[in-house]
Amino acid sequence: MKKHSKKILSVLTVLLFTIFCSAQEENTSDESLFYQFQEFKTTDEKMAFFFNTADLYRENSTYDWLELITINLNAAIKNDDDADIKRFQLMQARIFYDLGDYDKSLAITKELYEEIESLDIYLVSKLLDLMDDNYGQLTMYPEQIDIREKKREVGIMESVAFYDIYSNLGMYRKAMNDYIANVKNTIEENDFYGQAEYYNNLGNYLRLDGSTPTALSYYKKAKGFADVFIDNVTRKKTEQIMKEAHLLKGIIEGNIGKCHVDLKQYEQAIPHLELAINRIKENSSRHYSSELTENSLAISECYLLLKDYAKATDYLSDNLQTNTTENLLKKNRLLSLYYELTQDFKISNTYLRREIRIRDSISEHESQLRQQQLSTVMMKNLKYSQDMLAQQKMALEKQKNENLAKDKRNSLVLISLLFTLLGFAGLVYAYLKSIKNQRLIAEQKYIIENSLVEKDSLLKEIHHRVKNNLQMVSSLLSLQTKNTRSKAAIEALEEGKSRVKAMALIHQKLYQNEDLSVIEMQSYIESLINSVQSVYKKGGHNINITVDAENVELDIDRAIPFGLMLNELVSNSFKYAFPHGDENGKIYIHIRKSGEQEGYFEYSDNGVGLPEDTEERANTSMGIRLMNRLANQLQTTLNIDRNADDGVRYWFNFK
């Protein structure tokens, strides 16, 4: 159980850090990525940063990163931390992949794959993605399909797609059909970046299949979507997303140029290829070196056939990377053509023989291997199709059983309906039989309604008289105030007068309501505040008071304690909270009540706060003792925030 909890905690940590990395994408610091990686405390943070940071090698080389990861790996081995060892091994394998050492990268991932059951889902996802990429680079397509099956099994992929494998095996039309079937429905209509990628890939399949004019039309459509995405100012885009969009546009430009080369339109091809090379260099890392190589070879071919040998050699240099056999053969063929056109036939013949030797050395072996791989892929595809058919058959069988069950339910519904009709007939009979009793019931209802109206009138009259009597008491207190010279006595009388007014206001609200059982608190509190302001004429009129009690209704048993408590709180704020002026004073009153569920009351101001001897005063202050007793009536406890930095806050829950 502890092992699973540790796995879940690890995954949550990585996911939260990934979100943090994304949120910080637009606000990168001046520190290098190399330094930021070393600053992280946990391996999960380092791993998330490593796999989610774009253009990781822009400041430090791949070999610098390999050395750093190896140091961390050795430290994990020394500490015998199995979880950290696996994470740093996966990062090391990724770096070997980026260096083009796919065999070494695959060897590390194979070791991790043997313990896949003990890995968390994030680590499994990155591991299987890397193995998928390695098998693809090493043209080990059957193994690549097995890895994708594993992805589907663990829930990383919903279904297994084969279009990239078909393309690598030269089955471009089948690849295109599989790509359309798997990808088209996943792209939203307003996803212009996704549309650009989609039509660019369709163009690739058609160009490689020899349908160059059709491919050119798809590339132009892809370029249009890329332009719309880049020029759309209504959608906020990060710098990294814009960089990727310009990179995609550069790749599309290069593909358009290669189409013109295939169509022998060399002068039209050159601007597109030059633009593509510049865009890819500006916006890409080393992962797109093959695109640069292909575009450089294509533009070199254009200049050679246009007899501009100087520009041709600018692009056809020994520094041009040729990571694929196809690009190496094309480079040797173009060099042979260059020396032939410049009449250096000896060197031309050397490059020509080199091309023939490379082609002969790989053709027979590659042909046999490709046939074996094609056979295996087709068998796996057939098996996958059979599995899908079996699943569909099971789904149809399940649907058939559900339909049978539905038919049974419908039969039961019909039977139930029949019995319902019989029952309804019985009810009609009972209704007809009770018509005579309805007149008597109507007469009794009339008598009851009249009694209720009379009762409501009496209750309103009682509340009206209680309110008048309380106002009389308030007037007597006012007369007593005028005949009293003691300041303390005057203040006590004024406080008593304010409390009497608070209770009188409740009875006033009751007899003004149609429903005599409850009081609407929003309007009551606003009226109460106006009443308190009239008592304390010297202050309180500039205070910003916010009342949040909409749709809250309380019965009289709870409204009276609430009213008296609010009267004390507002009075205290007016008297003591703002001794230096109330121009910036604020009071916030909040009551929340949902049905029969527990309610919540909060009162706060931004005044000078409570004095340090508040607890001592609580035993002698009538106001605080009164509020505590009122809270007891509400079956709750009044909470006071004595640590507030600005003002004071009271709150409690109530039923």
Which residues are within 8 A (CB) of 462 and not within 5 positions of it... i.e. 6 or more apart? none
Q: Using the predicted structure, report yes or no on whether residue 366 has a pLDDT greater than 60.
A: no
546 DSSP β-pair partners? 588
CA 545 to chain centre: 37
Other C-beta atoms lying within 10 Å of the C-beta of residue 303: 20
Q: In the structure, how many helices (H) and strands (E) does the chain have?
A: 24, 7
Span 232-257, pLDDT tens digits: 888 888 888 898 899 999 999 999 99
Q: What is the pLDDT of residue 23?
A: 46
Residue 617: its pLDDT value, please? 61
417 phi/psi in degrees, rounded to 5: -65, -40
Residues 560 and 467: their CA atoms lie apart, in Å, by 13
Maximum pairwise Cα distance, the chain: 129
φ, ψ of residue 186 to 5 degrees: the values are -90, -5
Q: Rounded mean pLDDT of 486-510?
A: 75
Tokens representing 593 are: 């009540």
- Categorise residue 170: left if φ over 0, alpha if ψ from -120 to 50, beta otherwise: left
Q: Of the given ranges (39-53, 118-132, 156-170, 607-621), which has the lowest mean pLDDT?
A: 607-621
Asked if 527 and 509 touch (Cβ cutoff 8 Å), the reply is yes
Angle between helices 289-305 and 239-262 (to 10 degrees): 30
* Closest by Cα among 496, 574, 589, 502 to 533: 574
Whether residue 63 contacts residue 82, with contact meaning beta carbons closer than 8 Å, is answered with no
Contact 533, 540 (CB under 8 A): yes
Instruction: Provide φ and ψ at 191, rounded to 5°.
Output: -90, 85
Alpha-carbon span 108 to 131, nearest angstrom: 10
Summarize the confidence of residues 103-131 as an average pLDDT: 92
Lowest-confidence segment of 104-113, 179-188, 484-493 by average pLDDT = 484-493
pLDDT at 84: 93
Where residue 28 falls among pLDDT bands split at 50, 70, 90?
A: very low
CB 546 within 8 A of CB 587: yes
**pLDDT of 219 higher than 90:** yes
Give the CA distances from residue 487 to residues 77, 266, 490, 618, 624, in Å, rounded to whole numbers and listed in that order. 82, 104, 5, 22, 20
Label residues 245-272 b or e (16+ Cβ within 10 Å = b): bbbbbbbbbbbbbbbbbbeeebeebbeb
Distances (CA, A) of 261 to 185, 302, 318, 518: 33, 7, 22, 86
Q: Is the pLDDT of residue 461 over 70?
A: no
pTM, whole model, 2 decimals?
A: 0.48
Give the pLDDT confidence score for residue 616 in this predicted structure. 62
CB atoms within 10 A of CB 364: 9
Planar angle of CA 473, 478, 481, nearest 5 degrees: 125
User: Which are the contacts of 172, defined by CB distance < 8 A and separation ≥ 6?
Assistant: 166, 205, 206, 208, 209
Per-residue pLDDT at 93: 95
Q: Which of residues 110 and 284 earns the better pLDDT score?
A: 110
Q: Is the pLDDT of residue 91 over 90?
A: yes
Strand, helix or coil at 544? strand
DSSP 545: E
| Residue 312 CA from chain centroid, whole number | 50
Half-sphere exposure of 39 (CA within 13 A, CB side): 8
Looking at domain 542-655, which of 3.90.1150.10, 3.40.50.10490, 3.30.565.10, 3.40.720.10 is its CATH number? 3.30.565.10
CA-nearest of 469, 534, 472 to 507 is: 469
**Cβ atoms of residues 588 and 603 within 8 Å:** yes
Mean pLDDT of 125-137: 91
The one-character DSSP state at 185 is G
pLDDT tops 70 at residue 8: no
Residue with tokens 């007014």: 501
CA 386/CA 468 separation, integer angstroms: 89
